Chain A
């Protein structure tokens, strides 16, 4: 009996797709993410869209650092420098050469790759705490270098560069406002960067990088050019973080030296550790942490200071140590969070997640 109506064939096609997707959960997940990304800015408020855009940008930066640390055993407290370079390259090209933003991303990436590669050369000779120190110094010096007088006409000096009037509009008359469009651009770049990161990690070079991390001698014996790979990894890591910086210039529409303080470098670093060293998707968890935990800490700090006010009413001695300001406690709460995190989850949120997944997998099999 033949009952091939259009309806049944559509149902059959949908069924086949569903089965393919169910069998290939990676593809299914990817499509889900695409759909979510496409719908998200249409449903969310402007502020929330902004925050999630920022989250994606941080995630790219953290993934960059994670390539360096997780796959090469090196680490950096100075990635704010590359973030800054990425942002400034885009900003300068847009303001000085009227270049469209999209074109500036690959240029920023290339410039950051070169800077990272160059910084990777001295970093080659440094291990552990010495590398931390050198990169820490880089991060502290970055805002000052950005204020360098002779290039002030390009960088705008202390004032920085405003890009509000240069933000690209959605093309083809698409009905998106600038924030929404910025999100879409960022979203696309994020997908591209993480695709690159995954491919890199799973490639021959990625395995070489891991070999270097795990065992120098073994890597040497198998004929890997150690120095070249380490410096290249530094370059690639800087490239990722630079792309993030470039996108941040678009999002904030403003670059200035003081946006790239050591606190930014520390945030990227903390994000990486929290997300889990050596696990690329952890970058999103890390980004989530550095974006929202400081806010949460501030809320808790306000709560605490109310509590202190109460104590002050009971113990008259209390006020003599000065006007209590709630904001002052934010750093304390944040620091305590970090310490607890290291105690409870030494391998980051990712470690916890992986543990749970392993348990589940074991329970199922």
Chain B
């Protein structure tokens, strides 16, 4: 029993990672009705920016916030320059663009910062805060940061006019234009925000998995799994889904033959299971409408 509790808490800590990235996936899905397969790479690149700033002598929190700002701008610019011209193209073209972005960002990171593994600092320390080896300070901090970010997003979307405009632009772009919302601008804003959230996710994850250009590839899959479990239309659901995936994955290690190397398959199974049984996810909205 104690072992189970241990695994659950450990799962929550890794789950926080997945929750972070799931949140940024859902953000961009809200903004552009798409899953961005280059999302993880954008987060990785942001993390490198933070690393570079710290190399240049910036204190952790200074680098943290500057990175968020830079990432926001980068996300915005990528949408305006790369994505906007093909906005009306079919989904297949969009996916190719994502693949291209993936390749470009990944290789740029390798080009600028080399493909070697780099350690990345944590502002929370590595001491255990909950029993021996149960939950590290960094794990706790990560959970807290995810919570704060989710809260801020909730307030933003619920109570600000820009948040309302963004929701409207993604839910019904034509009607949004007809009330004077610049939908393209909102899309770009959505990319910017998603990049900023991704940056936070990257900076939180890097101390755990180390910084290297491919650090996000598999984590992205867990993020997708989390987002799908919670429902792609629900930021809160995505966070829940992320934690759930972390816990499920840890508990599955009790099943014989299902060692660590089968973890990815669990994410795969979760995605297919949820998409098949309940495509809107656990918390996704069914749209109520009368024709």
Contacts and interface: CB of A to CB of B under 8 A. Distances in A.
B276 interface: yes
Contact of A346 (B34, B93, B95, B265): B93
14 contacts: A125-B275, A125-B279, A129-B91, A132-B35, A132-B95, A133-B271, A134-B275, A144-B262, A149-B257, A322-B114, A327-B110, A329-B108, A331-B110, A332-B108
B20 to A, nearest CB: 18
B114 A339 contact: no
A214 B103 CA distance: 32
Given A128-B91, A148-B262, A346-B93, A335 B100 contact: yes
Contacts of B103: 331-332, 334-335, 338
Contact of A269 (B99, B104, B275): B99
Contacts of B272: 122, 134, 137-138
Given A133-B271, A141-B267, A150-B257, A339 B100 contact: yes
Interface in A289-341: 321-325, 327-332, 334-339, 341
B82 A339 contact: yes
A323 B263 CA distance: 35
A134 to B, nearest CB: 5
B6 interface: no
Interface residues of A, number: 50
A323 B114 contact: yes
Contacts of A122: 272, 275-276
B287 interface: no
B86 interface: yes
Given A140-B221, A270-B99, A328 B115 contact: yes
Contacts of B85: 343
A129 B35 contact: yes
Contacts of B33: 129
Contacts of B268: 137-138, 140-141
A308 to B, nearest CB: 9
B10 to A, nearest CB: 20
B264 interface: yes
Closest 5 A/B residue pairs (Cβ) = A331-B107, A328-B111, A335-B104, A338-B100, A335-B103
Given A136-B224, A342-B89, A325 B262 contact: no
B102 interface: yes
Contacts of A126: 275-276, 279
Interface of A: 69, 75, 77, 122, 125-126, 128-130, 132-134, 136-138, 140-141, 144-145, 147-150, 262, 266, 269-270, 273, 277, 321-325, 327-332, 334-339, 341-343, 346
A137 B225 contact: yes
B112 interface: yes
A273 B113 contact: no
A150 B113 CA distance: 40
A144 B264 contact: yes
B275 A133 contact: yes
A335 B96 CA distance: 9
B77 interface: no
A270 B96 contact: yes
A122 to B, nearest CB: 4
Interface in B75-111: 82, 85-86, 89, 91-93, 95-97, 99-104, 106-108, 110-111
Contacts of B175: none
Given A136-B37, A322-B112, 6 more contacts: A137-B272, A140-B264, A144-B265, A270-B99, A273-B96, A332-B108
A325 B111 contact: yes
B110 A325 contact: yes
Interface string B254-267: 00010101111101
A270 B96 CA distance: 7
Contacts of A137: 221, 224-225, 267-268, 271-272
B111 A329 contact: yes
Nearest to B115: A328
A338 B264 CA distance: 29
